[in-house]
């Protein structure tokens, strides 16, 4: 292999790769941000089998992506905190991946300090990925210094383009099936519209707006626009959901713990507006074109804000306990779905997907 810093690895390979492993063991929002890069690689490698290595909790989403053919559960690895590390389990995983005979493995997870050794252990014939700015490729066949700035979508697309896979657009993906929408319709049956969604959770405690303040925002939006407040939350977030619901008051529909990931997406697709923290559900809303007000301290807005123009409004404050309720209400009023609103029934961008 020639210069590891040269672009266009896919065009320099002696034969097109038949089996490709993409390493992205990150949380929901991070995987959604990776979908444009994965799509670009799919179009550049139409004959390859693409296997996505990601977290077990994202298996369903991984297998829905039209650019992905297979899924491998990330087993954990020292230095990668997303999954508990069990040496025997990880050794078995590596043995299985090596036996599968991958031609190419691409590391799409941060600067590679820990994820590049993991990727090399997959035993692929050729390897590529990010490295820290100023570092050499190490044992990778080609490497791109990870961009220091920019949106996560663009950082990952930069790697795909560097490898020789032209961009196929910046829109992110969260495919929904007809059955998902049917389950969401059952959960929402009888709820008066507009549906005002609240999601109080976030992985990072520093990103959490007080769920009582979130509930107060829901109550105020219901007074202004009518309808029903819908409380969404994942496992371990039930207490926050209860606090938000108590402040929101009736009519309030509590769906905490009742929505598997795909059904959560289908519920979000039905909302007139979602108010949430800077977390995975915000990226679901961006992908589906659901109006969203996303509260944060603004520190990650450049990297994880909306990737495209749409009915999305970030509301920031240096300290979330000083976030102004009036700003949240004004932002929601600007984007909430109404027959006479600019956004109508949804976002006109190409991100909206329906899979039957």
Q: CA-based angle 14:17:19, to the nearest 5?
A: 155
Asked if pLDDT for residue 301 goes beyond 80, the answer is: yes
Asked if pLDDT for residue 86 goes beyond 60, the answer is: yes
Q: Residue 354: what pLDDT?
A: 45
Pairing of strands 70-73, 49-54: parallel
Query: Average pLDDT in the 88-98 region?
Result: 98
Query: Average pLDDT in the 200-204 region?
Result: 88
User: Where do the structural domains in the chain lie, given as residue ranges?
Assistant: 9-163, 178-335
Query: Average pLDDT in the 316-325 region?
Result: 94
Query: Average pLDDT in the 105-123 region?
Result: 98
Q: Which residues are CB-neighbours of 123 under 8 A, at least 6 positions away?
A: 94, 97, 98, 101, 102
Q: H helices of the chain, where?
A: 9-12, 28-44, 59-64, 87-100, 115-120, 152-163, 178-188, 211-225, 238-248, 261-270, 280-288, 301-304, 325-335
Query: Could you tell me the pLDDT band of residue 339, with boundaries at 50, 70 and 90?
Result: low
For the chain, percent of residues with pLDDT exceeding 70: 94
Higher-pLDDT residue of 303, 351: 303
pLDDT in tens, 238-268: 999 999 999 999 999 999 999 999 999 999 9
Q: Residue 341: what pLDDT?
A: 58
Q: Residue 296: what pLDDT?
A: 96
Sign of CA dihedral 23, 162, 34, 13: negative
Q: What is the dotted CATH code of the domain comprising 178-335?
A: 3.40.50.2000
Give the number of other Cβ atoms within 10 Å of residue 316's Cβ. Answer: 16
Q: Are 284 and 271 in contact (CB under 8 A)?
A: no
Asked if pLDDT for residue 65 goes beyond 50, the answer is: yes
Mean pLDDT score of the chain:
94
Q: Are 147 and 131 in contact (CB under 8 A)?
A: no
Question: What is the full DSSP assignment across 41-65?
Answer: HHHH-TTSEEEEEE-GGGHHHHHH-
Q: Residue 356: what pLDDT?
A: 37
Euclidean distance between CA atoms 265 and 283, whole angstroms: 10
9-163 and 178-335 have identical folds: yes
Q: Residue 3: what pLDDT?
A: 84
Query: Could you tell me the pLDDT band of residue 340, with boundaries at 50, 70 and 90?
Result: low
Q: What is the pTM of this model?
A: 0.94
Q: H helices of 226-339, where?
A: 238-248, 261-270, 280-288, 301-304, 325-335
Asked if pLDDT for residue 330 goes beyond 70, the answer is: yes
pLDDT in tens, 8-40: 999 999 999 999 999 999 999 999 999 999 999
Query: Which strand (E) or helix (H) includes residue 166?
Result: none
Query: Could you tell me the pLDDT band of residue 353, with boundaries at 50, 70 and 90?
Result: very low
pLDDT in tens, 127-172: 999 999 999 999 999 999 999 999 999 999 999 999 999 999 999 9
For the domain made up of 9-163, the CATH class stated in words is alpha beta
| Per-residue tokens: 174 | 């969260």
> What is the C-alpha radius of gyration for the chain, rounded to an integer number of angstroms?
21
Asked if pLDDT for residue 346 goes beyond 60, the answer is: no
């Amino acid at each position: 292999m020639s210069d590891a810093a040269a672009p266009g690895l896919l065009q320099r390979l002696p034969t097109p790769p038949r089996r490709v492993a993409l390493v992205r063991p990150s949380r929901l929002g991070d995987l959604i941000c990776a979908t444009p890069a994965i799509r670009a690689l799919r179009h550049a490698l139409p004959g390859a089998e693409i296997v996505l290595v990601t977290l077990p909790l994202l298996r369903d989403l991984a297998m829905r992506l039209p650019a992905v053919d297979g899924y491998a559960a990330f087993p954990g690895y020292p230095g990668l905190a997303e999954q508990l590390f069990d040496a025997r389990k990880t050794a078995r995983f590596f043995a299985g991946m090596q036996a599968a005979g991958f031609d190419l493995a691409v590391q799409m997870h941060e600067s590679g300090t820990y994820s590049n050794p993991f990727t090399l252990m997959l035993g692929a014939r050729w390897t590529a990925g990010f490295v820290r700015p100023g570092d050499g490729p190490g044992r990778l066949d080609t490497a791109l210094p990870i961009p220091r700035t920019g949106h996560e979508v663009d950082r990952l697309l930069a790697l795909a383009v560097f490898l020789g896979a032209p961009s196929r657009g910046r829109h992110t993906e969260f495919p929904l099936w007809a059955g998902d929408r049917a389950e969401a319709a059952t959960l929402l049956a009888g709820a008066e519209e507009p549906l005002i969604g609240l999601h109080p959770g976030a992985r990072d405690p520093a990103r959490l707006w007080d769920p009582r303040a979130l509930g107060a925002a829901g109550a105020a939006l219901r007074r202004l626009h009518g309808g029903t407040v819908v409380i969404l939350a994942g496992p371990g977030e039930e207490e926050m959901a209860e606090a938000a619901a108590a402040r929101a008051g009736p009519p309030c529909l509590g769906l905490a713990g009742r929505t598997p990931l795909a059904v959560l997406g289908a519920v979000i697709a039905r909302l007139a507006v979602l108010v949430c923290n800077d977390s995975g559900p915000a990226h679901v809303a961006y992908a589906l074109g659901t109006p969203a007000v996303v509260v944060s301290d603004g520190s990650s807005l450049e990297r994880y804000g909306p990737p495209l123009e749409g009915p999305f409004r970030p509301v920031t404050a240096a300290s979330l306990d000083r976030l102004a309720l009036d700003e949240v209400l004004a932002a929601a009023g600007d984007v909430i779905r109404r027959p006479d609103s600019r956004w109508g029934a949804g976002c006109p961008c190409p991100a909206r997907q329906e899979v039957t």
